[in-house]
């Protein structure tokens, strides 16, 4: 991966007749060149997959645009142009703006309770602060048009009430909804009065500039951010500029964006001058600022491998309660200390092959590291489901035992039932089975019956609201999915969605882009209703759906931890970040999420330690389960016929296949055992240890598989789903691997 | 699904008496693939998990085994989970999420 652009486009340089780079510039570029050692993962931008950018059909995703708009807004602040850059999707923000009273433009709006209407560090708060620092003249709004699956850049001239849309294709959409753009533009208009305008009767000029630079079906996003970059850098968007863009081509533009983003994350203060100038040289532009030109906000971490490794290697110096330490964690150094301490703890757990265990949930040491960096997986989320369930069950006198006790949080007041992350994929299975074209009644009935058993311990007299952490699966294997939280409130007949990165949606979409989720949640209400024997009624047309405005993530990795915080806050207080009861350590926002991750991990490890210690006092039980070492009895040599842990895969109903069932296998009646089973089994010495047993198992598998597949054949015809699943069996399923 | 739940269940004690008996267990993936196992009540289900993983060619750490919605731990046995003959274990794949990768 080359990050720094080579002068490989002869067309370009013959055309602009650009002077060769000065020696000092080349030196400087080389000094910055280590950037090509960085992968997006190193830069904490896991989903900015630069390998995917090589694919000409790759379209910029929402989270990628978010990262780029962070950069562009910082650049705009640096050059003091009075341009506000707004990242994509505004459904929630616009709803909020329509709901609250507007005070004059220099007064921060408040909600009906008198509290500030914008959460700290939220999109609107940051934008509002930006507008207070400098008089806004223009806004650059990145909008996704779901109707055309297309990115568009809207440039709003605030003083003229005029919107210009930069359309990278040669033709524009027929129905472009600009209402959201207008609402936001009106709100950020400098020196506006405190009266909310009548949005239906606003006279806004709308102009489309057809750029005709995009020649493929996917590069719209790259053109959008590049045009925004040029506007901020004062390059006039004229024909000559556009022609130059065409000559540069989208491939080169992608390379420049890699440089910009790398510099943004790697350099000490933020985006450096060189990558900007490198890009601008095409237009003879130049930035003369000395140091970094786009200051990276504190909440966007700098990638610094040495500091990180040092912190991880630091011994635990301070024996104080880490929870207290985390509470006081304010400076970067303290954060690094906490990270270092966690790292040591992870190493210890890994060395002991120990997992964190609570209830039926397990958190492998490997996945614990996800707290420090990267994406949350089901283990991380479900562990918090388990500890929060436990908190909800805490009885009087045992409050000190629940997870949030160290935060001095009162006992949870709301009785939520929490589902694990696997409920949602099960709903999808059930939904597919219920669909006449893809499933069958019989299969749906079996699935539903089994799903009902998940609720055998739920007391529906008490639990009438359900929280479901939802993993929206990725569009393809190379991507991660997205975490969000759904609340089903049966008494209120309402479904609420808490999503740190909401989707774009068409104006007439009453489910705001959550159609699939809502569909499956309706199935969930049916299952829960049945499980409650009708005590709770399934969702119907009279139910309400709303997407709750929540703190939003500003990177591509945090949604799982937002989902955990949504759960935690709802369980403890029934709302998010309530100022009167939420301790500061537990309040969360995009900008503090890197701290929240550490706090969650530290507190979880400590609390589990305390919990198991307390449990050990009550009854001697293992606190942390070690990874399965071989059970004692297996290391003891003994005759084969006493082997009791052998198991063989076998089709259950085929009682006439008894000749190769485990009974006969274990009883070792040679005439009944097929030859391959015997050959596989014969080398097993009289002292059976785990490995040999596995070997015997594998070789014994072969003939059984054939029987099993034959047996499944009739069912395959019964439903399409089965046939498709059978053909997708991994090869190893059909032909078991030979014994080692 | 913690240990105390099993102790509360009077059936568990009755079942654990015949810990040496075997039961049939069906492991079902979300695509509907079924694998059958015959297993002693006292055998740790971690063995079944390992066997299943190698059978379908997956890393055991990338899949999760659920019984009635609760994850099966390494130390669980059919007896400790109160499993019955012909019971079903669900296999789920690991879920990872960071950003809305399928959303533009």
E-state strands within A542-685: 544-548, 648-649
Exposed (0-12), middle (13-18) or buried (19+): which is A548, by Cβ within 10 Å?
middle
Residue A714, pLDDT score:
33
User: Which strands, in side-by-side order, build the sheet including A416-418?
Assistant: A416-418, A465-472, A482-489, A494-498, A544-548
Residue A210, pLDDT score:
92
What average pLDDT score do residues A418-436 get?
A: 92
Cβ A360 vs Cβ B73: under 8 Å? yes
What average pLDDT score do residues A364-392 get?
A: 85
Q: What does residue B40 show for φ and ψ, rounded to 5 degrees? A: -70, 150
d(CA B18, CA B37): 18
Cβ A356 vs Cβ A362: under 8 Å? yes
How many other CB atoms sit within 10 Å of the CB of residue A260?
24
- Using alpha carbons, select from A88, A85, A95, A90 the residue that is nearest to residue A63: A88
Letter string b/e over residues A261-271, b meaning 16 or more CB atoms within 10 A of that residue's CB: bbbbbbbeebb
Determine the distance in angstroms separating the CA of B14 from the nearest CA of chain A, rounded to an integer. Answer: 20
Q: Which of A738 and A175 is assigned the larger pLDDT?
A: A175
- Using alpha carbons, select from A288, A313, A327, A284 the residue that is nearest to residue A602: A327
pLDDT for residue A711 is more than 80:
no
Give the mutation candidate from A40, A68, A360 for the B interface (greatest B CB count, under 10 A). Answer: A360
Complex prediction ipTM: 0.82
What average pLDDT score do residues A413-429 get?
A: 90
Lowest model confidence (mean pLDDT) among A101-110, A163-172, A309-318, A573-582:
A309-318
pLDDT tens per residue, range A263-288:
887 777 888 888 888 888 888 777 66
> Which residues of chain A have a CB within 8 Å of the CB of B98?
46-47, 63, 374-376, 480, 482-483, 556-560
Give the closest of A422, A648, A694 to B38, CB-based: A648
pLDDT for residue A570 is more than 70:
yes
Output the six-digit token pair for A609: 């330690």
> Which residues of chain B have a CB within 8 Å of the CB of A503?
100, 103
pLDDT tens per residue, range A437-468:
887 889 899 999 999 999 988 889 988 999 99
Q: Which of A650 and B21 is assigned the larger pLDDT?
A: B21
Residue A411, pLDDT score:
67
> Which DSSP string do the residues of A491-558 spell out, in sequence order?
TTTEEEEE-SSPPP--TT-TTTT-HHHHHHHHHHHHHHHHHTTTSSPPP-TT-EEEEE------SSS-
Nearest CA in chain A to B42: A645
Cβ <8 Å between A644 and B43 = yes
What average pLDDT score do residues A138-158 get?
A: 90
How many other CB atoms sit within 10 Å of the CB of residue A226?
23
Residue B28, pLDDT score:
93
pLDDT tens per residue, range A188-212:
988 888 888 888 788 888 999 999 9
Helices (H), A377-493: 378-393, 423-434, 441-452
Determine the distance in angstroms separating the CA of A268 from the nearest CA of chain B, rounded to an integer. Answer: 25
Cβ A226 vs Cβ A245: under 8 Å? yes
Four-CA torsion A640, A641, A645, A651, nearest 10 degrees: 120
Residue A48, pLDDT score:
62
Determine the distance in angstroms separating the CA of B16 from the nearest CA of chain A, rounded to an integer. Answer: 15
What average pLDDT score do residues A555-578 get?
A: 89
Torsional sign, CA B39, B43, B47, B49: positive
User: pLDDT band at residue A324, thresholds of 50, 70 and 90?
Assistant: very low
Give the closest of B33, B90, B99 to A47, CB-based: B99
Residue A395, pLDDT score:
66
Determine the distance in angstroms separating the CA of B89 from the nearest CA of chain A, rounded to an integer. Answer: 10
Residue A643, pLDDT score:
36
* Angle, CA A42 vertex, CA A261 and CA A60 arms, to 5°: 45
Kindly report the three-state secondary structure assignment for every residue of B21-45. Answer: CEEEEEEEECCCCEEEEEEECCCCH
Cβ A183 vs Cβ A97: under 8 Å? yes
Residue A292, pLDDT score:
61
Name the residue with tokens 């309400």. Answer: A544
Cβ <8 Å between A647 and B30 = no
Nearest CA in chain A to B91: A422
> Which residues of chain A have a CB within 8 Å of the CB of B70?
359-360, 420
pLDDT for residue A681 is more than 60:
no
Cβ <8 Å between A625 and B102 = no
User: pLDDT band at residue A566, thresholds of 50, 70 and 90?
Assistant: very high
- Using alpha carbons, select from A435, A394, A459, A426 the residue that is nearest to residue A527: A426
d(CA B78, CA B95): 26
C-alpha neighbours within 13 Å on the C-beta side of residue A229? 28
User: pLDDT band at residue A4, thresholds of 50, 70 and 90?
Assistant: very low
pTM: 0.68
User: pLDDT band at residue A363, thresholds of 50, 70 and 90?
Assistant: confident
Determine the distance in angstroms separating the CA of B63 from the nearest CA of chain A, rounded to an integer. Answer: 10
- Using alpha carbons, select from B38, B45, B42 the residue that is nearest to residue A704: B38
Lowest model confidence (mean pLDDT) among A528-542, A644-658, A717-731, B48-62:
A717-731
Determine the distance in angstroms separating the CA of B12 from the nearest CA of chain A, rounded to an integer. Answer: 16
* Angle, CA B13 vertex, CA B9 and CA B16 arms, to 5°: 125
Q: How many helices (H) and strands (E) does chain A have?
A: 26, 16
SS3 call for A435: coil
Return mean pLDDT, chain A: 72
Strand (E) or helix (H) holding B66: strand B63-67
Percent of chain A with pLDDT over 70: 68
Residue A533, pLDDT score:
94
CA B95 to chain centre: 18
Q: Which of A17 and A512 is assigned the larger pLDDT?
A: A512
User: pLDDT band at residue A43, thresholds of 50, 70 and 90?
Assistant: low
Size of interface A-B (CB pairs under 8 A): 226
User: pLDDT band at residue A321, thresholds of 50, 70 and 90?
Assistant: very low
- Using alpha carbons, select from A224, A161, A164, A209 the residue that is nearest to residue A189: A161
Contact residues for A660 (Cβ-Cβ < 8 A; gap 6+): A648, A650, A672, A673, A674, A677, A700, A703, A704, A707
d(CA A557, CA A165): 30
Q: What does residue A165 show for φ and ψ, rounded to 5 degrees? A: -105, 125
Q: Which of A223 and A356 is assigned the larger pLDDT?
A: A223
Cβ <8 Å between B98 and A628 = no
d(CA A662, CA A676): 15
pLDDT for residue A637 is more than 80:
no
Q: What is the pLDDT along chain B (104 residues), one digit of tens a residue?
A: 444 444 444 444 444 456 678 899 999 998 888 899 999 999 999 999 999 999 888 888 889 999 999 999 888 899 999 999 999 999 999 898 876 544 55
SS3 call for A577: coil
Torsional sign, CA A128, A129, A135, A139: negative
Give the closest of A62, A621, A732 to B100, CB-based: A62
């Amino acid at each position: 991966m080359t990050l720094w652009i080579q002068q490989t486009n002869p067309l370009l340089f013959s055309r602009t007749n650009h002077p060769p780079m000065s020696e000092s510039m080349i030196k400087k570029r080389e000094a910055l060149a280590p950037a090509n050692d960085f992968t997006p993962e190193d830069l904490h931008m896991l989903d900015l997959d630069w390998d995917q950018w090589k694919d000409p059909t790759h379209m910029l995703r929402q989270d990628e645009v978010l990262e780029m708009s962070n950069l562009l807004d910082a650049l705009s602040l640096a050059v003091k142009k009075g341009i506000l850059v707004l990242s994509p999707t505004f459904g929630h923000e616009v709803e909020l703006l329509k709901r609250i009273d507007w005070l004059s433009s220099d007064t921060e709006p408040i909600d009906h309770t008198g509290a500030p209407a914008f959460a700290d560090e939220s999109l609107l708060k940051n934008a509002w602060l930006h507008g207070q620092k400098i008089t806004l003249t223009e806004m650059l709004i990145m909008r996704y048009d779901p109707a055309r699956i297309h990115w568009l850049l809207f440039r709003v001239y605030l003083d003229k009430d005029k919107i210009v849309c930069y359309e990278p294709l040669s033709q524009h959409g027929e129905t472009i909804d600009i209402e959201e753009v207008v609402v936001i533009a009106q709100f950020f208009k400098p020196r506006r009065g405190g009266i909310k305008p009548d949005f239906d009767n606003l006279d806004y000029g709308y102009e489309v500039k057809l750029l005709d630079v995009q020649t493929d079906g996917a590069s719209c996003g790259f053109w959008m951010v590049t045009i925004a970059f040029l506007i901020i850098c004062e390059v006039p968007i004229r024909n000559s500029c556009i022609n130059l863009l065409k000559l540069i081509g989208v491939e080169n533009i992608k390379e420049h964006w890699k440089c910009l983003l790398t510099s943004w994350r790697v350099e000490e203060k933020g985006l450096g001058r060189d990558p900007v100038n490198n890009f601008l040289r095409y237009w003879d532009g130049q930035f003369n600022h000395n140091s970094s030109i786009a200051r990276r906000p504190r909440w966007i971490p700098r990638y610094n491998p040495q500091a990180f490794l040092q912190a991880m290697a630091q011994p635990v110096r301070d024996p104080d309660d880490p929870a207290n330490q985390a509470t006081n964690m304010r400076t970067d150094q303290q954060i690094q200390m906490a990270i270092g301490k966690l790292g040591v703890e992870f190493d210890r757990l890994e060395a002991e092959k120990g997992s964190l265990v609570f209830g039926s949930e397990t958190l492998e040491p490997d996945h614990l590291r996800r707290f420090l960096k990267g994406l949350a997986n089901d283990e991380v989320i479900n562990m918090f489901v388990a500890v929060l369930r436990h908190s909800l069950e805490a009885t009087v006198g045992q409050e000190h035992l629940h997870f949030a006790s160290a935060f001095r949080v009162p006992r949870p007041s709301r009785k939520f039932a929490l589902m694990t992350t696997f409920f949602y994929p099960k709903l999808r299975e059930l939904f597919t089975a219920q669909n006449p074209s893809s499933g069958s009644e019989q299969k749906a009935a079996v699935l539903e019956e089994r799903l009902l058993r998940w609720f055998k311990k739920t007391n529906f007299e008490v639990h009438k609201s359900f929280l479901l952490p939802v993993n929206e699966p990725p569009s393809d294997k190379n991507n991660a999915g997205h975490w969000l939280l759904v609340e089903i409130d049966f008494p209120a007949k309402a479904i609420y969605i808490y999503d740190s990165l909401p989707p774009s949606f068409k104006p007439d979409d009453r489910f705001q882009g959550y159609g699939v989720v809502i569909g499956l949640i309706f199935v969930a209400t049916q299952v829960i209703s049945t499980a409650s024997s009708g005590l709770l009624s399934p969702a119907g047309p009279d139910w309400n759906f709303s997407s709750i405005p929540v703190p939003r993530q500003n990177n591509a990795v945090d949604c799982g931890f937002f989902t955990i915080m949504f759960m935690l806050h709802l369980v403890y207080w029934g709302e998010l970040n309530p100022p009167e009861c939420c301790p500061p350590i537990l309040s969360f926002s995009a900008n503090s999420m890197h701290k929240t991750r550490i706090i969650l991990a530290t507190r979880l490890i400590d609390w589990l330690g305390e919990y198991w210690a307390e449990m050990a006092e009550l009854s001697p039980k293992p606190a942390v389960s070690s990874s399965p070492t071989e059970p004692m009895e297996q290391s003891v040599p003994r005759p084969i016929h006493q082997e009791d842990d052998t198991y063989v895969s076998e089709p259950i109903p085929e009682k006439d296949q008894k000749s190769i069932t485990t009974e006969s296998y274990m009883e070792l009646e040679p005439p009944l055992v097929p030859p391959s089973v015997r050959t596989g089994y014969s080398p097993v010495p009289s002292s059976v240890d785990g490995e040999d047993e596995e070997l015997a198992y594998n070789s014994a598998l072969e003939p059984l598989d054939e029987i099993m597949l034959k047996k499944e054949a009739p069912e395959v015809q019964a439903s399409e789903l089965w046939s498709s699943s059978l053909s997708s069996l991994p090869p190893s399923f059909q032909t078991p691997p030979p014994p080692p | 699904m913690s240990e105390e739940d099993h102790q509360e269940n009077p059936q568990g004690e009755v079942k654990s008496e015949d810990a040496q008996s075997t039961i049939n267990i069906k492991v079902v993936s979300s695509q509907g693939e079924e694998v059958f196992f015959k297993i002693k009540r006292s055998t740790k289900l971690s063995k079944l998990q390992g066997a299943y993983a190698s059978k379908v060619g997956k890393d055991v750490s990338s899949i999760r085994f659920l019984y009635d919605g609760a994850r099966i731990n390494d130390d669980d046995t059919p007896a400790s989970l109160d499993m019955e003959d012909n019971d079903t274990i669900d296999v789920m794949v690991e879920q990872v999420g960071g950003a809305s990768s399928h959303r533009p």
